[in-house]
Amino acid sequence: MTETLTDVDVAFFRENGYLLPGRRLLPEDRLSHLELIFNEHLRDKGDKLSDELDTPHYRDERLLDHLLSDEVLDWVEPLIGPDIALWSSHFISKDPFTGRATPWHEDSAFWEGRFDDYDNIVTIWLALEAGSYKENGCMRVIPGSHLNGGFSDGYRPTDMTEQTFHAELAGVDESKAVYFELKRGEFSMHDGRIVHGARANTSATRRTGYTMRYFPSSVKMRDVPQNEGWKIWLARGADRAGNDYANV
């Protein structure tokens, strides 16, 4: 076993919807390899913006070596159990001075109808390169907001020249926000239902992260149009819901 969460960590996550372990996720050689892959994808992104590099593991199987590794899954298992499915991954890079803000939102609000349960979807956010700080637009969350169920009312349209999503949750009390300041190689964990966002990058330093998202294999991914073409992997353990996996 690699490092993992304590009972105290799990209790904190259940209550607050997030965790900042204060540890490095990967050894240096694997972290450097991941940064190399990111920069290749950034170089080859074409017309995409640098914050739009979604599901890169579909196109690059090297990423599965990280996404399905014990170093990662041993952190996830205490939160969702031994039977784990990989839902998605995403390179998120906010360029210096021009990196768009991420509006307040719940991830689950954009997944409505795609699963039969949303209680235990967990995202790891890994800081690459220079790290993630207030100055370059680090992620921030509203503690405990995941307990509201993940489908809040009050979304309003955004200007996507300035925001990364088309809708923003209005009326969020920003005074309650916790900022996820992470050094290179450190990571955060958050519940898919928590209210979170990020300010724009107004600094001279690029902010780069890699998200890795998992759910229990007991959760069924529904046969709906939104899931057409979506690929999931059985990361650990056994299938418990009759899902179709890319690696089984």
Q: Residue 75 has what pLDDT?
A: 98
Kind of pairing between the strands at 84-94 and 167-169: unpaired
Q: What Å distances lie between residue 199 and 14, 130, 136, CA to CA?
A: 26, 17, 8
pLDDT at 51: 65
**How far is it, in rounded angstroms, from Cα 122 to Cα 118?**
10
Closest CA to 30 of 85, 75, 72, 88: 72
| pTM attached to this predicted model | 0.96
Digitized pLDDT (tens) for each residue of the chain, 248 residues in all: 579 999 999 999 999 999 999 999 999 999 999 999 999 999 998 777 666 689 999 999 999 999 999 999 999 999 999 999 999 999 999 999 988 999 999 999 999 999 999 999 999 999 999 999 999 999 999 999 999 999 999 999 999 999 999 999 999 999 999 999 999 999 999 999 999 999 999 999 999 999 999 999 999 999 999 999 999 999 999 999 999 999 99
C-beta atoms surrounding 51 within 10 Å: 22
- What pLDDT score was predicted for residue 46? 79
Distance of CA 205 to CAs 141, 196, 200, Å?
A: 22, 22, 12
Among the residues of 27-184, which ranges form H helices? 28-43, 64-67, 70-80
Provide the pLDDT for residue 45: 85
Tokens of 218: 């007991």
Q: Dihedral angle at the C-alpha atoms of 210, 86, 227, 118, nearest 10 degrees?
A: -90
What is the CATH architecture assignment of 7-236?
Sandwich (2.60)
Tokens found for residue 191: 């519940």
User: Measured between alpha carbons, how far is 149 from 134 in angstroms, rounded to an integer?
Assistant: 28
